[in-house]
Structure 1
Amino acid sequence: MAATLTSTARRGYGLGSVATGSFGTVPGLLLLPYLTDRLGIAAGLAGLIVFLPKAWDVVLNPVAGRISDRSTHPGGRRRPFLIWSGTALAVAFVLLFNGPTSPSGLAATWVVVTFIVCASAYAFFQVPYVAMPAEMTDDYDERTRLMTWRVAILALAILVSGGLSPMIRDALGPQWGYRGVGLFVGALILLGTLGVWRGTRDTPMSRAATAGGSVADQLRVVAASPPFRTLLLVFVLQALATGAMLAGVDYVARVLLGGGAASTVLFLCFVAPALLVTPLWQRVGEARGKRTGYLWGSVLLLVGAAATLATVRVGLAAAALSVAVVGIGYAACQMFPLAMLPDVAAADTAATGEDRAGTYTGVWTAGETLGLAIGPFLYAAVLTIGGYVSSTDAGARQPDSAQLAIALGFTVVPAVLVAVSLVFLRRYRLDVEVAR
């Protein structure tokens, strides 16, 4: 295992985030509006449809991790999973938005089935992908540099997929808009898949012995790790917050800010700061430690979300500024936990001599998936309580209670979740000396 990675390896690994960023963003941003305002499905049922396939991943991800842990493929323990599952994900995503569109049980069933296929393929891509850093380098700071590349490319992928998808939808109109989104994002997923497959082909990987026992045995070992439990709980709570905010962007833009380019502006302000501040967060991590950087970023995420409750009432410019603060914090809340997870897995391997990185990342991605799934479900529940009117008529008038629900779900709910996560983050104790 190399201590210092080449720039080619860093960039190659980071390209996988084109696939994870595109799939992780666009369904959270547009699938709920697609169900409520294109297919005419009630908000509560739509939230359940978005949630169920993700809930399946919570079960599947640890299994995918264990399967990749046991892989003896000559092409590597993790990499062969990337090309096959990434290609399957790209095809399934195209089908997701290219099914029946008349309000009916058939349309809802199509979305559920294709989204489950997407979620299953994604599990076998994401879990091996997230496990790779622990096997690519044994250097604490090198993992931070690797995650800097990943998060920067992730931000660009989210920016492109999430920023352009609403524009493609609006430009192509109600009949072909979402179909165009499916084709566009499917192509991005395939691009990321091929990029990470080729970019990491010459990177040596560690080959520690595979840990024995069943999936249940390995899950018990992972659950017994205090730093992992703490880090996972923090990340899941923040994934909940992120999922709720992503689900709310389109509603806030259309109903509260007058539509037009507001959705794209808010999304750009949420994601674009990461392109600028991720290298700065890397310096913070190297100078003050990853935990400190994670704490600072979480505070910014909380403050920005809470402030947006006020700024969204002022107008688009003010809302964009507070959402940009959220974006600065979001960059840290992506980079640092992803750099800390390999530390936990590597510390376990150093202590036991056995590799269960896939099991760690399987549980991790299951938690992340659950958070990102419950986030839109939670947002849909807030809309339901507020009396949101689902309609295929984009100009349908929403009552004052629904407008308040749109604002609260986008601001106060995420802020409370991040505040709770900070309580647990302060308990994380795996420092540089232990990680080394």
Structure 2
Amino acid sequence: MALSAGVRRGYALGSVATGTFGTVPGLLLLPYLTDDLGVAAGVAGVLVLVPKGWDVVLNPIAGRISDRSGVRRPFLLYAGVAVAVTFALMFAGPQAPPALAGGYVALLFLACATAYAFFQVPYNAMPAEMTTDVDERTRMMTWRVAVLAVAILLSGATAPLVVEAFGYPAMGAYVGVLLLLGTVGAYLGTRGVPPAGRVAASGSLATQLRLVGANANFRHLLVAFIIQALAIGSILAGVTYVAGHLITEPAAATILFAAFVGPALLVTPLWERVALRHGKRAGYLVSSAVLALGSLTLLSTASGSAPAAYVGAGITGIGYAGTQVFPLAMLPDVAGEDARLSGVNRIGVFTGVWTAAETLGLALGPGLYALILQLGGYLPSTAGVEVTQPASALTAIAVGVSVVPAVLVAASLFWLRRYALDEHPAQERSTDGG
């Protein structure tokens, strides 16, 4: 079934929320803890990781709940509002002592991540139920990733500027507004889309998780994606450190972020053409290779050369766009195929496991980067206090955004090459090119 352009765009608006939430904490939460609240890098990495680790448990449960509810859209509104409010509060807590301030951030991040699970899981489950046409799903994901790129560019480029001009509490409120706009937009934009009508799967959650885990294509796709999420999380966490310690040009963090995300606005439609002509798996492999190459070129940040860093970020961004389009289009194919063959609805469980893995990967990325900083001897500081970092810490800053992510992406190709479900039966393909 072909969807109207309005529905595709309406669904894609949810990426304003997912892109913003997936970007800003990874970009600013770790520096907020280490450089504003005076929390040690290793401890800060744990504080960022623990709330996300909770989501690994919660997301499949959220998927199961949304499966049994029979509807997805109401979750978008109620959970989205809760995400916006708790995010704003997360950056409006006490500034000292470091233990109290860090504990407050961890608790609010836990609440925010909990609410986000009940937004993200139903949101990711919707494409498999909105259409059975695999090409239509690719078109949906093209719109979604285009909006995602805009959201990442907007939030990632402007949030540091708001911090610099007005401080972290103002940034939290600003980002909260962006989150609210995305959730309301997706809720209103998908009005009139009928539910799938499949019967929710019976049995315990553990039984459904075993059935989902037994799906080889899902398993291979999931492992590849989580490894790449870990790599991207490490890159995002390092942008502020690269801009602050290696490239000292004004607005370097904003320019780096724009160079990383900006190309996605141009190349996402090209990646869609690759999928329609050569298949999603082939496109995912090629874009992953570009992402690994781009990541490796970011080692140039160690020299302090701003132009080289911006070029490297641009190459990385081209690959990143494809590694978002293809897996997001392949996930509903796998979940929809399972529903088609079984006649029952486990789509929420599939997406719950998927978003749990994505959340863990993106959370482990800053945690991994924090570990690299700790091993490099990075020195924490408090607001207004200048600290001279040792040469080993500067090397760690560069390696954490380049060599480590490149190795991770290269490793993910082992699992991606084993994915075999590239196309669905002919009757599920588009007949009108819609």
Equivalent position to 2:319, from 323, 329, 346: 329
Residue type of the partner of 2:285? Answer: L
* Distance in 1 between residues matched to 2:314 and 2:386, nearest whole Å: 28
Following the alignment from structure 1 to structure 2, what is the Cα–Cα distance between the partners of residues 370 and 381? 16
TM-score, normalised to structure 1's length? 0.96
For residue 355 of structure 1, what is the aligned residue in structure 2?
Answer: 345
Residue identity opposite 2:79 in structure 1? S
Contact 1:301 / 1:328 at 8 angstroms: preserved in 2? yes
Deviation (angstroms), 1:205: 2.7
1:84-233 equivalent positions in 2, closer than 5 A:
84-172=78-166, 177-233=167-223
| Distance in structure 1 (CA, Å) of the matches to 2:268 and 2:413 | 20
Is the 8 Å Cα contact of residues 242 and 301 (structure 2) preserved in structure 1? no
Q: Give how far 1:343 is off.
A: 0.2
Partner of 2:281: 291
Are 2:341 and 1:343 equivalent residues in the alignment?
A: no
Report the 3-state secondary structure (helix = DSSP H, G, I; strand = E; otherwise coil) of the residue aligned with 1:70: helix
| Residue identity in the other structure for 1:371 | G
**More displaced 10-residue stretch of structure 1: 304-313 or 26-35:** 304-313
| Secondary structure of 1:9's aligned partner | helix
Indicate if the aligned counterparts of 1:312 and 1:318 stay in contact, CA closer than 8 A: no
SS of the residue aligned with 1:33? helix
In the TM superposition, 1:231-380 aligns within 5 A as: 231-258=221-248, 260-310=250-300, 312-313=302-303, 315-380=305-370
Question: 1:282-338: per-residue Cα shift (whole Å, max 9, x none)?
Answer: 001000000111111000000011111135415111110011000000000001000
Is the CA contact 2:134–2:424 (under 8 Å) kept in the aligned structure 1? Answer: no
Give the structure 2 partner of residue 9 of structure 1: 7
Contact persistence 1:234–1:421 (CA under 8 A): yes
5+ unaligned residues in a row in structure 2: which ranges?
429-434
Give the conservation status (yes or no) of the 8 Å contact 1:294–1:333. Answer: yes
What is the alpha-carbon distance in structure 2 between the residues aligned to residue 380 and residue 432 of structure 1? Answer: 40
Mapped partners of 1:310, 1:191: distance in 2: 37
Cα distance in structure 1, aligned partners of 2:291 and 2:163: 29
Aligned residues: 426
Question: Is contact 1:383-1:406 (8 Å) kept?
Answer: yes
Letter of the aligned partner of 1:341 in structure 2?
A: L
Quote how far apart the aligned CAs of 1:396 are.
Answer: 1.3
RMSD: 1.1
Which amino acid is 2:46 matched to? L
Whichever residue aligns with residue 40 of structure 1, its letter is: G
Secondary structure of residue in 2 paired with 1:206: coil
Query: What TM-score, normalized to structure 2?
Result: 0.97
Q: What is aligned with 2:19?
A: 21
Distance 1:27 1:144 in 2: 28
> Runs of 4+ in structure 1 displaced over 3 angstroms?
433-436
Q: How far 1:131 sits from its partner (Å)?
A: 0.1
Q: Is the 8 A contact 2:233 2:366 kept in 1?
A: yes
The one-letter code of the counterpart of 1:135 is E
Identify the residue that residue 77 of structure 2 maps to in structure 1.
Answer: 83
**Structure 2 counterpart of 1:118, one-letter code:** C
Structure 2: how far apart are the matches of 1:314 and 1:86? 40
Q: Does 1:419 align with 2:410?
A: yes
Q: What stretches of structure 1 of length at least 5 have no aligned partner?
A: none
1:21-69 Cα deviation digits (max 9, x unpaired): 1111000000000000000100000000000000000000000000000
1:389/1:396 contact within 8 Å kept: yes
Cα separation, 2, equivalents of 1:313 and 1:303:
18
On the 8 A contact 1:347/1:434 being kept in 2, the answer is: no
Q: Does 1:387 align with 2:377?
A: yes
State the alpha-carbon separation in 1 of the partners of residues 85 and 143 from structure 2: 27
Q: Does the 8 Å CA contact 2:80/2:116 hold for their aligned counterparts?
A: yes
Corresponding residue for 2:389?
Answer: 398
State how far apart, in whole Å, the 2-side matches of 1:304 and 1:285 are.
21
* One-letter code aligned to 2:174: F
Report deviation, 1:211: 0.6
Offset, 1:241 = 0.1
Task: Give the Å deviation of 1:103.
Answer: 3.2
AA aligned opposite 1:62: P
Instruction: Quote the offset at 1:164 in angstroms.
Output: 0.1
Structure 1 counterpart of 2:33 = 35
Task: Tell me if the contact between 2:302 and 2:395 (Cα under 8 Å) persists in the aligned partners.
Answer: no
| Distance in 2 between residues matched to 1:165 and 1:431, nearest whole Å | 38
**Structure 1 contact 312–319 (Cα < 8 Å) conserved:** no
2:38 and 2:107 map into 1 onto residues whose CA distance is 18
Q: Is the 2:239–2:256 Cα contact (8 Å) retained in structure 1? A: yes
CA distance in 1, matches of 2:214, 2:97: 48
Separation of aligned partners in 1, 2:381 and 2:97: 10
| Cα shift at 1:109 | 1.3
Q: How far has the Cα of 1:104 moved from its partner?
A: 2.8
Report the CA distance between 1:414 and its aligned residue.
Answer: 0.3
2:264 aligned partner, one-letter code: A
Contact 2:233 2:364 in 1 (8 A): yes
